Structure 1
Amino acid sequence: MMIFGPAVDVRPLFPRERRALLDLLGALSPADWARPTVCPGWDVHDVVGHVLNDYMRRLSGSRDGHGGAVFADDETLPAYLARTNETFVQAARQLSPRLMIELLEHLGPRLDALWAARDLHAPADLNVSWAADDIGSPAWLDIGREYTEFWVHQQQVRDAVSVPGADEPDLMAPVLDVFARALPHALRMHDRPEGSTVHLTVRGPAGGRWGAIRAEGRWRMAEPQGEPAAHVSIDQDAFWRLATRGITVEQARRRATAGGDPELTAAVTALLAVIA
């Protein structure tokens, strides 16, 4: 599991992120709830409905052990998620904003209790396939992925209604840190000599530096030391939007600087930290 680097414990941040979201939602006008978001075909109401679905899905599966997933014939995981997410969002359109806020307030602490009871180094309930699709993930990465999911959807709502917030370094830095753990997976198609390294710098108050090394036949997270085979520097806003495809790879590359092996820099600037 050291392929993913040191653990990130985001559990204390869930109540703060949720409080910021609920305060935002409570101040929205009816017109705000209908504003379009970056999610194709979804307005603010739909994104909030999707977050509610995430809350209920994780409580049902990880807390209660309920296995309700039913895949259609030959359906891939991305296709399954797209279908079921859309189905729930459509159904949630009958829910009032007030009720959705109340449900998030009610269910949120139950999710917090679920995460608090987990051993961070135990196997994840749900594998984080964008970090590694051939080995299991640790629980801390699964929980971290959920934090990034909630934080990103809050930012999508904030973008839609032009109300920035919840972007303080202590709330945002773990999102960037978890997304950076997709680095080895982004490089997986590129074989290089043992010991080859790649460095990623994310600029900004919440940013940091990460590295990957080729060791034992695969890329692994590693401290960014020495002279890398390739290096990429990108601003923090562009990085999280790239990782979630809120901007295109081409847009992200225009906001990045890179050097060294062009195949490796191209792979880093196409990093993806969502299932798609």
Structure 2
Amino acid sequence: MTVHPSLEPYVDAWTHSIEAITELVLPLTEGQWNLPTPCPGWSVRDVVSHIIGLELEQLGDPRPIHTLPRDLRHVVDEFTRYMEVPVDVRRHHTALEMTSELEYTVIRRQRQFRNDKRDPATTLVRGPKGDQIPLELSMRLRAFDVWIHEQDLRAALGVPGNWDAPGAHVARDILLSGLPKVVAKGAGAPPNTAVVLDVHGPLEFLRTVRVDAAGRATLDPTPSLGPAVSLSLDWETYVRLAAGRVRPRTVADRVKVDGDAELAEAILANFAVTP
């Protein structure tokens, strides 16, 4: 597949995850499509519907005209309403309808990648909130989204895997980019504070969030001597916390905390960076 060099890592990651998702759902029975996933309010069918809906938007297809029921508790704002429309219109689709639409959508997207001559840095496309964003950022977010939802499906179906896939590396960078805001704004870490995050497992990395005298936080790959807080956890737990799939208290035994316990609790309470 020939794509612009700046898009290639994201297309590769997207392809790896979308093929894994297709392989996961093709053999499912009708009942398995209704299994709940860690994504709040969504079943296996809903997660796949969401993926189909956003990929169709990237193809330029019109959004469905649909009025949502009023009893969807996970729909709480304009963003979640926007995301729910392509999900709810497919809630009664059969397994065959779902897999057929997924496969055809993937074929269309792969054809789009092969034929796309647009400049990824300057071309604007529809973003996840319906706004216009650069094509390169859009593809990065799509690679992230399908990998996160692949993990939702794997958790629901009891088929773990791909924690070190190409999409995992994209997800690591996106989730880490939100960490300074978590520490400085969400947790209210005081000026001149350092917080160390030590993650182990299939993906291993150490990052320091440094809050300067003005209260601005930055991410630093070097360790800190005498940080206010050090958090050590495995990669799977980090993803599930940062993506809002679990609450801190449910994985407390998988997070080692050193330092200011009150600040650590505030950081973990605000750890989710996905909408």
TM-score normalised to structure 2 length: 0.74
Map of 1:50 onto structure 2: 50
Structure 2's unaligned 5+ residue stretches are 1-8, 65-74
Aligned with residue 91 of structure 2, among 72, 82, 93:
93
Alignment of 1:31-180 (within 5 A): 31-60=31-60, 79-95=77-93, 96-109=97-110, 112=113, 117-119=119-121, 143-180=139-176
CA contact (8 A) 2:207 2:223 kept: no
Deviations along 1:86-112, whole A, 9 cap, x unmatched? 232121235412322223323432675
Q: Tell me, in whole angstroms, the C-alpha distance in 2 between the residues paired with 1:266 and 1:230.
A: 10
1:61-119 Cα shifts (integer Å, max 9, x gaps): xxx9x999xxxxxxxx9611222322321212354123222233234326756798423
For residues 34 and 175 of structure 1, do their structure 2 counterparts lie closer, same or farther at Cα, with a shift above 3 Å needed?
A: same
- Cross-structure match for 2:253: 254
| Structure 1 spans left out of the alignment, 5+ residues | 1-8, 69-76, 129-136
CA 1:169/1:98 → structure 2, altered by over 3 Å: closer, same or farther? Answer: closer
1:110-148 residue CA offsets vs partner (Å, 9 max, x unmatched): 67567984239x9997599xxxxxxxx998666444322
CA distance change for structure 1 residues 241 and 115 in 2, over 3 Å: closer, same or farther?
A: farther
What CA distance in whole angstroms lies between the structure 2 residues aligned with 1:141 and 1:213? 26
Task: Write out per-residue CA displacement over residues 237-276 of structure 1, whole angstroms, 9 at most, x where no aligned residue.
Answer: 111111122211212333101122334422432311211x
2:206 is paired with a residue whose SS is: strand
Following the alignment from structure 1 to structure 2, what is the Cα–Cα distance between the partners of residues 205 and 112? 29
Q: Secondary structure at the match of 1:226?
A: coil
Separation (CA, whole Å) in 2 of partners of 1:164 and 1:116? 37
SS at match of 1:232: strand
C-alpha distance 115-86 of structure 1, shift in aligned 2 (>3 A): farther
Aligned residues: 246
Structure 2 equivalent of residue 223 of structure 1: 221
Give yes or no for contact 1:11–1:116 (8 Å, CA) kept in 2.
no
Residue type at the aligned position of 1:185: K
Distance across 2 between alignment mates of 1:139 and 1:214: 32
Kept in 2, the 8 Å contact 1:170–1:206? The answer is no
> Are the equivalent residues in 2 in contact too, given 1:201–1:210 (CA < 8 A)?
yes
- TM-score, normalisation: structure 1: 0.74
Q: Secondary structure at the match of 1:245?
A: coil
Instruction: Give the secondary structure class of the aligned counterpart of 1:247.
Output: coil
Other-structure match for 2:195: 198
C-alpha distance in structure 1 between counterparts of 2:250 and 2:117, whole Å: 35
Equivalent residues of 1:34, 1:45 under 8 A apart:
yes
CA shift, 1:235, in A, is 1.1
How far is 1:10 from its partner?
A: 3.6
Alpha-carbon offset, residue 15 of structure 1 = 1.2
Question: Paired residue for 1:28?
Answer: 28
CA contact (8 A) 2:58 2:125 kept: no
Q: Which amino acid aligns with 2:164?
A: E
Query: Secondary structure at the residue paired with 2:89?
Result: helix
